[in-house]
Structure 1
């Protein structure tokens, strides 16, 4: 008769009764066969087995044994197939680059950026002689600016405002002359700001420092001046070295502007001083009326007569 009892969770023992021989001989040991359950799958295995006959796991720990990596066969070569480039499709990346560049260019054109920005056209200003049929008048100034001014010397002042005080005994004098190439080339710059927009037709001036004959010869005088008005109007003026007196320089046509820039291009050299002088200067023409003031402001906004001076000395009048 065979009986079974559980010893623990993993091991069961089977006892084999040998019948009469066992009961008749109590000194004879009984024959016992032991089976162990697999911790991994629960299958019973003979005690002599180390690996489960069902799952192959270790019957003691339940760990599965790793499969060995197969040794590569040296006689077998793995070939990697690489597709050769199509010589007829070389243009595809080039076309992609050109398409991207075209899109960028189109965006700049649409946005009007950089060189594709639309240029603003300065409105034309035509002088109407029928509306301005009277004699020219002195156009009042709100300010004057120069690149340099000579500091006071021998009890005299040489501020830029003395150039427009209608007194031949006073004068503005520069503190030397600019080197060629500075400030866009001119030797000196004078900016005259009008109180109201006007049509400028002529300039009246006393050239040099006319306080006395000796001083007149000592300091350089204007010889050639570039007159610049709003809207890009430029006129080259040639002046005289005719001693102590007034000279009137007429523009070919009246120009509408809010200011006038005078760039000194050439001078009559002085004997000792390396600066340039002007005793008196007057801007003449007609004060703008009707729609001309707004037209002058628009022209000045688009293309003013001047940019900021490099070393500006400005005075309000």
Structure 2
């Protein structure tokens, strides 16, 4: 959580309870992975998903603090499990500047550790989540898994369509953001239209967040990111800046970038990654990706204004602004 929520002490306090819930849940893991998992859950993430649950849970008159903490903990544990599995697929040595679970215990044990987190998330689910449509929850989980499978199956294919990419990140990232915003509002058992509006807000936030994350893979500082820039390229994963650059190159009748990435196998050679990063920037891929991220943000702002709740509007607007200008 670091200092990200210092300007929102109430949210920070609630997220501390989420952290405590997750740590208590993980504390009874097998001794071989207990400390590794504890380090993973304490690794300094922004805890955006449970924060969204807390923020939108204010859209009503009921006192649902305990329910919001529990639901936020469930969603965060699912997210943490997906990170463990991501790092195995990417053979990632570091995340947020620290050794990954994969790097510390190997692929086999890391898979089991991620599965353990998912299982414990299900244990926290009481089956009586007030106001939450189970179909929305199961759909988000299914889309997350499907998107991970699609990305893994297509690893090394840089020439996917923009539509395919957007579908991937909608499942991989936006689905949990949408679920988080929806869940907080749904816990109030109020107007279902408000809950679905929150679902749209979370979806747009997730899309903008992932696009910005993909942009940082091209423009960020390795020291700040806690991992090397160009990591997606190295792993054979095409993201939006590259896809826009390939489109621009095709319009220009050029094929330097396409030729560079044809018939290569992941992991890419560092020299190939460096050349692709430079060409993508020169072709305007990063700039076009930023414009699309901005459009998702503007769509969310339109829905946020319709919530008619000044505090929630302020917190969501500030969060969008912070995330859209972040460098890590």
TM over 0.5: no
The TM-score, its normalising length taken from structure 1, stands at 0.23
Per residue, is there more helix in 1 or in 2?
2
The TM-score, its normalising length taken from structure 2, stands at 0.23
Larger radius of gyration: 1
